[in-house]
Amino acid sequence: MNPTRDTPLRIGTRSSPLALAQAEMAKVALVTAHGWEEAAVLLVPMLSSGDKVQDRPLAEIGGKALWTKELERALLNREIDIAVHSMKDVETVRSAAFRIAAMLPRADVRDRLIGAESIAALPEGARVGTSSPRRTAQLKALRPDIVTDSIRGNVATRLSKVANGEFDATLLAAAGLDRLGQSGIGAAIDTGEMLPAASQGAIGIDCLADRSEIAALLAPVNHQSTFDCVVAERAFLEALGGTCHSPVAAQAVWEKDALSLKGEILREDGSERQAGAIACQPGDGAAPARLARQLLDAASPELRALFEG
């Protein structure tokens, strides 16, 4: 395939401001890598089911698939050639029809606290808006007095809910804020205090597995070290099992000639946390699985049940 103004490469994306910003990053990377004119790549915005339903936690209405299924359907129907996702939103187990063929360089993996300078600085009994089981459990592990409640909507909506006093604070991904030009907002939480969600800060580019010509176009923009780290984190998630209700965090980083993978699982109320780390090589799914088994074996029956059903 040789994209041109008349036959452009079509990028499917959610229509939220953050998703559009991320799709634009993918477009710029492809145009730069191949020397194409800008008109050779076309953004195709779509409204996802997750964007349509804003009054309930994601885990209650279908999980991560709500962010991706419209884009996957468009890929299957050849309405688009590739789709751009926040890797954090991509289901761990997917149909073999799809392939994440490339990932852009990873951004800041940390969460940012909006409304206070630190978790310790939150007032007694502070009401924090979050729909993330991971963030809820981690907050309660650190501050059992904190009250959490569901908050949905795009970044601007969530910020406004804190500004108008509906919540004392909220947590947002630093990467998303940075990509929206709001890097000065909020206090970054060190990963030693709150380990991030698996794949946080990574942008994936999806295509049909049988379209090798598309995968070849994506190869030059793939950031291999990001790809290796995210694959290890996703292997850890897959080995754990669980659902969107299961509080889990993971982060892989390169240390010398191996990946260092940290993972943790928690009870929803933060009363129990099991954490560990393991070294592994890229593409080694056995090591992340061993870490998952280690944490599950150390967990109470109540915590284990969140992942093993």
Contact 291, 307 (CB under 8 A): no
DSSP-assigned states of every residue in 144-181 = TT-EEE---S-HHHHHHHHHTTS-SEEEEEHHHHHHTT
Q: Which two tokens stand for residue 104?
A: 């852009």
Rg, the chain, Cα only: 19
Of 94, 87, 102, 89, whose CA–CA distance to 49 is shortest? 89
CA 245 to chain centre: 15
51 is catalytic: no
Report how far apart, in Å, the C-alpha atoms of 303 and of each of 201, 235, 244, 270, 298 are.
27, 20, 14, 10, 10
Vertex 54, ends 51 and 58: CA angle to 5°? 80
Of the listed 51, 89, 111, 228, which one is catalytic? Answer: 89
CA–CA dist 226, 106 (Å, integer): 6
CA distance between the termini of the chain: 45
Catalytic residue annotation: 89
